[in-house]
Amino acid sequence: MLPSLITIGLPLAALYIVFLIWYGGNGKPMTADEINAGLRELLATDNSEHGKAAVEDVRQLLASDDGKEFIMQNLVRYRPKALYPPGYQYSDDPREADKRYGKSIVWPLLRNGNLLLFIARRSGNFFVPVGADNWHYVAMVRYRSRRDFLKFAFDANRADKFVHKWAAIEKTHVFPVKPIVSLFAVRTLIGLLLFSLGSILAAFLT
């Protein structure tokens, strides 16, 4: 029992601690100076009219910072055809443009402790109030904090990744939410997976 605990249990416990540190989700709110400096840096990565408007949206998001994790709800409607700025040689398929954006942001998300939780394509209608938007899909992204959302935005802007997003999207509604009831228990899931792995390895060694 003791050899299994040392050779299997301790390394897996250490791995789980490293995961918890990376996953975070319970930090300190950004200070006013930190927010202003971050917004200036974000604007420096994209000084276009679209970039200036995006910075104001980020300012509004950061104003409600509590330092804790949150989930960003994304409702998306595609353009009839992808609309790239002059100089970009891509097809006019908006879904292909959106796929390019999705693939390009995986590492910037993960390196800042953020995680894509859910994507679902619209499959029909049920209750449609007058004036409702015709969304094509919904996505939910978990961010470690608003500070880490800002870091992700720096990464994506510097690498010109958002150009694919805005080429694909005609309209989007994005807003942060705090779960009340959720089955996305990532910490518990990772803990159970590591425990199961440890049990399997221990069974092979005994």
According to the model, what pLDDT value does residue 46 have? 78
Distance separating alpha carbons of residues 125 and 131, to the nearest angstrom: 14
What tokens appear for 37 in the block? 């400096």
Asked if residue 64 has pLDDT above 70, the reply is yes
> What is the pLDDT averaged over residues 145-168?
90
Q: Which residue has the higher pLDDT, 158 or 11?
A: 11
Over residues 195-205, mean pLDDT:
87
Give the pLDDT mean for 172-192.
92
pLDDT tens column, 118-141? 999 999 999 989 988 999 999 999
pTM of the model as a whole: 0.88
pLDDT, tens digit, 9 for 90 and up, residues 28-63:
999 999 999 999 998 888 777 777 888 899 999 999
Q: Residue 152: pLDDT above 60? A: yes
Residue 17: which pLDDT band, with cuts at 50, 70 and 90? very high
Mean pLDDT of 96-120: 94
Query: 43-50: which pairs have CB atoms within 8 A and are 24 or more residues apart?
Result: 45/154, 45/157, 45/158, 46/157, 46/162, 50/166
C-beta of residue 104 within 8 angstroms of C-beta of residue 41: no
Q: What is the pLDDT, as a whole number, of residue 4? A: 66
Structure-token match 């990772």, residue found: 190
Instruction: Rounding to the nearest 10 degrees, give the CA dihedral for residues 169, 153, 15, 68.
Output: -100
Residue 115, pLDDT score: 94
Q: Tell me, what CATH number does 165's domain have?
A: 3.30.70.100
pLDDT given for residue 44 in this prediction:
87
Domain that holds residue 198: 2-205
Q: Domain tally for the chain?
A: 1
